[in-house]
Amino acid sequence: MNRVGIVAKVDRPEAREVVPRLVEWLTSRSKQVLLEKETAELIAHPKTAVRKSDLPAQADLLVVLGGDGTLLSMARLIGDLGVPILGVNLGGLGFLTATTEAELFPTLEALFRGEMLVEERMMLAAQVFRQDERLAEYVALNDVVITKSAMSRIITLAVAVEGQYATGYRADGLIISTPTGSTAYNLSAGGPIVFPTMDAVVLTPICSHTLTNRPIVLPASLRIKVTLLTEQQEVMLTLDGQVGVALKERDVVEVRQASPRIRLVRDPRRHFFSVLRTKLKWGER
CA of 30: how far to CAs of 19, 26, 27, 65, in Å?
17, 7, 5, 21
68 is catalytic: yes
In the chain, which ranges are continuous DSSP H helix? 13-28, 37-40, 55-58, 68-78, 104-112, 185-188, 272-280
Amino acid letter, residue 168:
G
Q: Indicate which residue of 54, 68, 199, 267 is catalytic.
A: 68
CA distance 237 to 148: 9
d(CA 164, CA 104): 48
Q: Report the C-alpha gap between 95 and 93 in whole angstroms.
A: 6
The answer to whether 246 and 232 have CB atoms below 8 angstroms apart is no
Known catalytic residues are 68
